Amino acid sequence: MSIVLKGRMLIYEDALLNNYGIRVENNRIAQIAPNKDLVCEEGDEIYELSDQIILPGFVNGHHHMYGTLSHGITADVMVSDFNNFLTDFWWKYVEDRVDHDLVRTTAKWACVEMIESGITSFMDILEGPGSIPGALQIEKEEIKKAGLRGFLSFEACQRVSAGNGLSGIRENMDFVKLCSKDDLIKGLPSIHTLFTCDKEFVKRAKEEADRYHCMLHMHLSESDYEPSWSLVHYGKRPVEVYEEWGILDQNILASQVVAVTDEELDLLAKHHVSVISMPLSNCEVGGGIAPVSKMLERGMTVGLGTDGYINNFFEICRGAFLIHKANEKNSQVMPAKTVYKLATSGGAKAMGIDAGELAVGKLADIIAVKIDTPTPINEHNVFEQLILFRNPADVKYVMVNGKLLKKDGKLITVEKEKCRMEMAEAAEKFWNNYDAGGEYI
């Protein structure tokens, strides 16, 4: 049995096609054609999406599913800079308190948010030194139920202890091996930064990644703090240090990449390093604005991520569309079409997924968005209309690997209200377990 989606519109090779649809066989796109020419066989599921546009699913290249716990949290601490954000707030109030139960609950809710928002693939970094071993397996169980395509990692570092750091590497590599034959869930190792990982640790993580032919992820220069720290301790900026250590290549996935020089960008481009940008969370922590337009000028592969902060992917796209224009004082920077590509094919390429665009043979990771806009959608404005004026409520169909996760606007693999109630209960307990004296109880 195959699935046929007959759309009002469809985006194919950057062109807007009217009255086009898709035939999906197993987990791949088998046909893209005018609706009247689509093959429809007995037993096929056929959906008439006469008020919708068919697109590739969004790719969230950087997520922290557990981050939902912090949304709106009231913490008795004044955050003044990025280092202070980590040491006085994030590590103490949030990250160090993550356990297996919270991993499971937040993973469930994150799946709800992602499916609602049209995200079909994502890469998650679990930061919780007390949650290993076994945390990634718990995440996997919930993501498999939801049906999303996920790349899961644990952020290994030495800030707690050398032993905990090695346990983090082991958690990652055990998971990589566990998922070697899984068609939806994959593992990859992740490290934090130069100020929490020494040379031997970074090189070991890279050696493990190379041994199993997978990417190595890192947070890179999210603010001025890491470059300043690196100059004091190594006499070089972070990208220069990583090059000196022989770390940089096409299998490095670098997130944030905000406080970097032109020379560092040249090195990243030279070594074909892929980047995931978080336009909104970079604003929240006061880190700055990533030079994404310079990355693209250098031909670098760039995707977008939520960072576990604002998980509405339409908002992420709006941030990418607007922030860079204001920062560079140039309204022509980051046009909507470019942002759309970052949200789809850019993220897919960065993560090595055979998706991110609609083409015969590609993985059937597809969404359909309602187009009842008050102004017309045409070939000249379709990308603006999509990323600026649509929202998760307009995402009516979500398909991953040929399986529908959302149909006619309703989630069908997860129970939204049940997950919300579980998340609310866990968060309330999490918030209340911090007393006025600054100690956890």
Does any domain span residue 418?
Answer: no
Last residue of a domain, one of 351, 381, 416: 351
Do 195 and 339 lie in one domain? The reply is yes
For residue 318, CA distances in Å to 333, 364, 383 come to 13, 25, 11
Dist. CA 139–CA 104, nearest whole Å: 6
Name residue 404's beta-bridge partners. 399
Dist. CA 433–CA 441, nearest whole Å: 5
pLDDT tens string, the chain, 441 residues long: the values are 799 999 999 999 989 999 999 999 999 999 999 999 999 999 999 999 999 999 999 999 999 999 999 888 776 655 556 666 777 777 778 888 999 999 999 999 999 999 999 999 999 999 999 999 999 999 999 999 999 999 999 999 999 999 999 999 999 999 999 999 999 999 999 999 999 999 999 999 999 999 999 999 999 999 999 999 999 999 999 999 999 999 999 999 999 999 999 999 999 999 999 999 999 999 988 899 999 999 999 999 999 999 999 999 999 999 999 999 999 999 999 999 999 999 999 999 999 999 999 999 999 999 999 999 999 999 999 999 999 999 999 999 999 999 999 999 999 999 999 999 999 999 999 988 764 334 544
Dist. CA 13–CA 37, nearest whole Å: 19
Do 141 and 207 lie in one domain? The reply is yes
Does any domain span residue 22?
Answer: yes
- Own/partner long-range contacts of 380-384 (Cβ < 8 Å, ≥24 apart): 382/9, 382/11, 382/16, 382/53, 383/335, 383/336, 383/337, 383/339, 383/340, 384/336
- The two three-digit tokens of residue 226, written as one number: 């890491």
Dist. CA 324–CA 293, nearest whole Å: 8
| Three-state secondary-structure class, residue 259 | coil
Give the CA count within 13 Å in the CB-facing half-sphere of 183: 11
In this structure, the chain runs to a length of 441
Q: At residue 81, what are phi and psi to the nearest 5 degrees?
A: -150, 180
Do 16 and 119 lie in one domain? The reply is no
Does any domain span residue 382?
Answer: yes
127-154 pLDDT, tens digit per residue, is: 999 999 999 999 999 999 999 999 999 9
CA angle 123, 124, 125 (to 5 degrees): 130
Name residue 274's beta-bridge partners. 253
Placement of tokens 């807007």 in the chain:
16
Give the CA count within 13 Å in the CB-facing half-sphere of 140: 19
Dist. CA 47–CA 5, nearest whole Å: 5
329-372 pLDDT, tens digit per residue, is: 999 999 999 999 999 999 999 999 999 999 999 999 999 999 99
- The two three-digit tokens of residue 394, written as one number: 């307009």
Do 374 and 398 lie in one domain? The reply is yes
Do 145 and 221 lie in one domain? The reply is yes
Do 160 and 44 lie in one domain? The reply is no
CATH number at residue 25: 2.30.40.10
Dist. CA 113–CA 243, nearest whole Å: 37
Work out the number of other CB atoms within 10 angstroms of the CB of residue 180.
12
pTM score, whole prediction: 0.95
3-state helix, strand, coil in the chain (%, to 5): 40, 25, 35
CA dihedral angle for residue 123, residue 387, residue 349, residue 151, rounded to 10 degrees = 10
Q: Which domain holds residue 383?
A: 3-56+360-408
Do 365 and 339 lie in one domain? The reply is no
Do 102 and 9 lie in one domain? The reply is no
Nearest by Cα to 3 from 333, 368, 373: 368
Dist. CA 14–CA 405, nearest whole Å: 25
Does any domain span residue 156?
Answer: yes
Do 256 and 369 lie in one domain? The reply is no
Do 161 and 45 lie in one domain? The reply is no
Does any domain span residue 48?
Answer: yes
Do 69 and 108 lie in one domain? The reply is yes
Does any domain span residue 415?
Answer: no
Does any domain span residue 423?
Answer: no
Contact 157, 193 (CB under 8 A): yes
- Total domains in the chain come to 2
For residue 108, CA distances in Å to 19, 114, 124, 357 come to 36, 10, 13, 27
CATH number at residue 246: 3.20.20.140
Which residues, at least 6 apart from 365, have a Cβ–Cβ distance to it below 8 Å?
56, 57, 120, 121, 149, 353, 355, 356, 399, 400, 401
Work out the number of other CB atoms within 10 angstroms of the CB of residue 350.
28
Do 332 and 291 lie in one domain? The reply is yes
Does any domain span residue 213?
Answer: yes
